[in-house]
Amino acid sequence: MVKSVPVPLVDLDFGTDPLFSFSAHPSENALVVGSGTGQVKLLRYDVEKLENHIFHSADKECAQIDVRAKELQGSDCVTMGWRTKRHQGSCRSIIFDPKGEYVYSAGLDKQIKKAKAETGVVVAKSEILASNITKILTVPNKDFLIVGTEDGDVLCLDSNTLKQTYQIKKVHEDAVNSINHYVPKSDYQFVTTGSTTLSHIDIRKEQPLHQSEDQEDELLCSSWLDPTNPNTMLCGMGEGVVTVWRPEMNDFADQISRVRISKEPVESLISALDSEGDHFWAGSFDGTVSRVNIRSGKVVEKRVHSETDEVSFLDLDHEYRLISAGMDRLTIWKEAGDVESSSDEEDEKDFDESAKSEDLSSEEEEEWTGFGDDEGSGNEPDVSSASFEEEIDSDSDSASENSDSNDDRPVVPLIEIKEKLLAQLEDSDEEPPKKRKKHVKKETKKQKAHTQEHGIRKFDGL
């Protein structure tokens, strides 16, 4: 059983003007948000004030901020740096440049605008594009702005002038749902998802370098497990699983394993950027955010973002705080250090209880296949049980060695030992220990296509 750890730092309510996109500043406590009416705002948050608010509140709840079209209502822990009516129609995607000096936003008006992050003043505009924009991505080492469209095209604009420099048409059959750069492997290569396929592209080429098989389920989002070492790609699927991809194994031809997250679609993913490089966050349509260990294939923590709002967006601020958001609410969570230090005794108790409970849900056991072939025979050796047997053997060997090594002790007559053993057996009511039942994993089956539509199509007409 996964324990929920609700530790929000602040909740921002966007009920009157739905949130369509946001991005965290790379070096400051600031967010830029884009709304359904085309409004763009820069919001700044004071972490010390937010923590003091929680400490002094009677119920220990976080600050609640109502984000209106022209103002903020609630605590002064969050302030508005600037606001503007940036686009006609909704703001479909927004992002800071790698240094946090500029903000790029894309609207339903099929135009991208570049503005100074400090003031919000526009310094460049793109031409009106042929198709609606779904995603934009800045690149750390090049003056590139990568753009995905509803037609499945991928464009590259000069990030200074917003003039188009490259274009690849029909990378996907439908809208581009996500874009990830392939740095440090190449400044020109990217991995995109859309419809039911994943594509590996070089923006200088007219065709994708590699494209996956039809996954029979929509790939709604994607993220590298470790952005600094891009060897494991994660994709959130419409059927509630995260698929794992290893390009060095099969050039993105197909997923190699999968992890069950929820019964609802996985709409957002981001690396946890932990020191071990084993964890990621997954946001689901059911309003939960799950922290997953990729090696065990298990959800190790679950947080409730909202009971009525899906988790469409995830990001980390410059101090690695998790930020989850849907159309109605944005939540900044306390950093992991605060969570872990809250109660050592409770952590030890929870650890003991989890050690006693070894049962996973049948769905989680069925979905996780490790880093092997998803269609494998299931005859791979059980490493954990083998290690357990080796530990028992080594303990037995060491015990026998210890018993043979004490030659200096006085010799006890055999008849005395026999009499003592018989007396102990007669007095003992203890039953022999039962053998632990072995848990057998079920074989993974490929699921049928999900009939419900997800991804950027939920914003149709907005």
In this predicted model, what pLDDT tens digit does every residue of 328-371 receive, in sequence order? 999 999 874 453 444 444 444 444 444 444 444 444 444 555 54
Mean pLDDT of 53-78: 88
Q: Where are the domains of the chain?
A: 7-128
Q: Which of 136, 203, 139 is nearest to 171 (CA)?
A: 203
CB atoms within 10 A of CB 230: 19
* pLDDT number for residue 7: 80
Could you tell me how far CA 194 lies from the centroid of its own chain?
18
User: What type of residue is 409?
Assistant: R
Mean pLDDT of 190-202: 98
Residue with tokens 């921002």: 12
Stated pTM of the model: 0.74
The two structure tokens encoding residue 110: 């099929």
Q: Which of 29, 13, 9, 7 is nearest to 65 (CA)?
A: 13
* pLDDT number for residue 423: 59
- What band does 299 get if pLDDT is binned at 50, 70 and 90? very high
* φ, ψ at 416 (rounded to 5°): -70, -40
* pLDDT number for residue 185: 87
pLDDT above 70: residue 327: yes
Q: Please identify, in words, the CATH class of the domain defined by 7-128.
A: mainly beta
- What band does 56 get if pLDDT is binned at 50, 70 and 90? confident
* φ, ψ at 180 (rounded to 5°): -130, 135
pLDDT: which is higher, 379 or 417: 417
Task: Give the model confidence (pLDDT) of 235-292 as tens digits.
Answer: 999 999 999 999 999 999 999 999 999 999 999 999 999 988 999 999 999 999 999 9
- What band does 126 get if pLDDT is binned at 50, 70 and 90? very high
Mean pLDDT of 229-235: 96
Q: Are strands 257-260 and 241-245 parallel, antiparallel or unpaired?
A: antiparallel
Task: Give the model confidence (pLDDT) of 127-175 as tens digits.
Answer: 999 999 999 999 999 999 999 999 999 999 999 999 999 999 999 999 9
pLDDT above 50: residue 397: no
The partner residues of 67 in beta bridges, in order of sequence, read 72
Mean pLDDT of 417-440: 48
